[in-house]
């Protein structure tokens, strides 16, 4: 076995080790999330109706009680959440080293095919989550991030798996590092943003149903999430922060295309769907900035944009053949 083959083998071992760590982390996060006391999605107090014009009763605004009494005790499930965070750090470290060894085994950027791109993208999602965790407590989000990371790695190491090999000459460029790494970072952030957006819809629906006194099928989940305005603001900040980098990734791709194929833009399927994704996220940010859309309407646009991103990742790569190296897998 050559040195390169040895590095590739150790890379696979490290990815499998990361998957084991993520599996235990997923279980720990689930235990911690289930142990959360949750919010009280019920009216605080039934205030008497105010008398309007002509003696007609006018209902007062119903407030939502958030959280329980502050008794100074540690929140339930904190220990399980801490275990989940520690194992996520460990899994991400193992995965990062595995990605690095994969690149060293072929002496190029380790994202030259769907297997490598999926592995590196999983690392980007986990790393985004961990970076956010440095500034705020996001243990409640852990199970919703680690689970898709684990599924992505499972797909990469099974039906998407490809042995480490060299790229075609047209793709041997430093733009592979610049363009694809920017796209992967954006993909990691967009995935976390989509998870937060979905949870916002659940929390918002629970709060709306509580105000109306109606039952909610996902009430058990909504009670354990932060308030919907916080989730909405968090999702917006993630998308707004990453959109300029996504714009740069598309521009860098066009420059690379000119160097490789002699044209900046040729409406290749990958280019087309990257542009569609850009338009969708631009529409989301534009709607919030100019129309003032917040909440459910904006969330739907954000999820449509992420759906475009996923189709560009899976649909175009697997179902549609194009000039990009990932097509036709």
| Average pLDDT value for residue range 264-268 | 82
Which token pair is 319?
């179902």
Q: Supply the pLDDT for residue 63.
A: 38
- The C-alpha atoms of residue 154 and residue 196 are separated, in whole angstroms, by 23
For residues 274 and 232, the answer to whether their CB atoms sit within 8 Å is no
pLDDT digits (tens, 9 = 90+) for 75-113: 557 889 999 999 999 999 999 999 999 989 888 888 878
| Average pLDDT value for residue range 124-145 | 94
Q: Supply the pLDDT for residue 97.
A: 96
| Average pLDDT value for residue range 143-166 | 90
Look at 39-43, 47-51, 171-175 and tell me which has the smallest mean pLDDT.
47-51
What is the average pLDDT value for the chain, to the nearest integer? 83
pTM, two decimals, is 0.83
Look at 146-150, 206-210, 290-294 and tell me which has the smallest mean pLDDT.
290-294
Q: Supply the pLDDT for residue 90.
A: 97
The alpha carbon dihedral of 254, 259, 264, 270 has a sign of: negative
Q: Supply the pLDDT for residue 39.
A: 67
Q: Supply the pLDDT for residue 235.
A: 94
The larger pLDDT score, comparing residue 43 to residue 235, is at 235
Q: Supply the pLDDT for residue 328.
A: 42
Give the largest Cα separation in the chain, rounded: 91
Q: Supply the pLDDT for residue 45.
A: 39
Q: Supply the pLDDT for residue 323.
A: 55
Q: Supply the pLDDT for residue 4.
A: 80
Q: Supply the pLDDT for residue 66.
A: 38
Say which residue the tokens 């993208």 belong to.
Answer: 121
pLDDT digits (tens, 9 = 90+) for 215-265: 888 888 988 899 999 999 999 999 999 999 999 999 998 888 888 777 888
The larger pLDDT score, comparing residue 96 to residue 175, is at 96
Look at 17-21, 65-69, 283-287 and tell me which has the smallest mean pLDDT.
65-69
- Three-state SS for 1? coil
The larger pLDDT score, comparing residue 171 to residue 78, is at 78
Q: What separation in angstroms does the CA of 270 have from each of 117, 258, 284, 317?
A: 14, 15, 21, 8
The alpha carbon dihedral of 269, 324, 151, 131 has a sign of: negative
For residues 316 and 269, the answer to whether their CB atoms sit within 8 Å is yes
| pLDDT score of 135 more than 70 | yes
Per-residue pLDDT band at 321 (split at 50, 70, 90) = low
Domain boundaries, the chain: 1-43+76-166, 170-329
Per-residue pLDDT band at 316 (split at 50, 70, 90) = confident
Q: What is the DSSP string of 33-77?
A: HHT------SBS--PPPEE-GGG-EEPPPPPB--S----SPPPTT
């Amino acid at each position: 076995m050559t040195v390169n083959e040895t590095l590739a083998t150790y890379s696979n071992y490290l990815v499998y080790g990361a998957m084991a760590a993520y599996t235990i982390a997923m279980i720990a996060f689930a235990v911690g999330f289930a142990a959360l006391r949750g919010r009280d999605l019920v009216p605080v107090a039934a205030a008497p109706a105010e008398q309007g014009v002509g003696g007609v009763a006018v209902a007062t605004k119903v407030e939502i009680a958030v959280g329980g009494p502050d008794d100074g005790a540690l929140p339930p499930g904190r220990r399980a959440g801490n275990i989940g965070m520690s194992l996520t750090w460990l899994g991400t470290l193992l995965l990062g080293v595995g990605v690095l060894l994969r690149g060293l085994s072929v002496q190029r950027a380790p994202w030259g095919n769907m297997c490598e791109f999926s592995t590196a993208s999983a690392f980007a999602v986990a790393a985004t989550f961990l970076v956010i965790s440095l500034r705020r407590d996001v243990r409640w989000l852990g199970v919703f991030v680690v689970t898709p990371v684990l599924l992505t790695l499972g797909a990469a190491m099974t039906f998407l798996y490809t042995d480490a090999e060299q790229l075609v000459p047209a793709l041997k460029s430093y733009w592979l590092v610049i363009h694809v790494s920017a796209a992967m970072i954006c993909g990691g952030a967009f995935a976390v943003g989509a998870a937060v957006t979905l949870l916002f819809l659940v929390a918002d629906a629970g709060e709306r149903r509580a105000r109306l006194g109606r039952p909610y099928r996902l009430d058990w989940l909504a009670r354990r999430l932060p308030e919907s305005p916080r989730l909405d603001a968090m999702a917006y900040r993630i998308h707004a922060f990453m959109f300029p980098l996504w714009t740069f990734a598309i521009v860098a791709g066009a420059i690379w295309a000119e160097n490789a194929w002699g044209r900046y833009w040729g409406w290749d399927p990958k280019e087309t769907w990257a542009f569609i994704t850009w338009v969708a996220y631009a529409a989301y940010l534009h709607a919030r900035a100019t129309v003032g859309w917040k909440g459910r309407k904006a969330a739907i646009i954000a999820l449509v944009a992420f759906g475009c991103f996923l189709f560009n990742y899976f649909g175009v790569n697997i179902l549609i053949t194009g000039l990009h190296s990932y097509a036709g897998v």
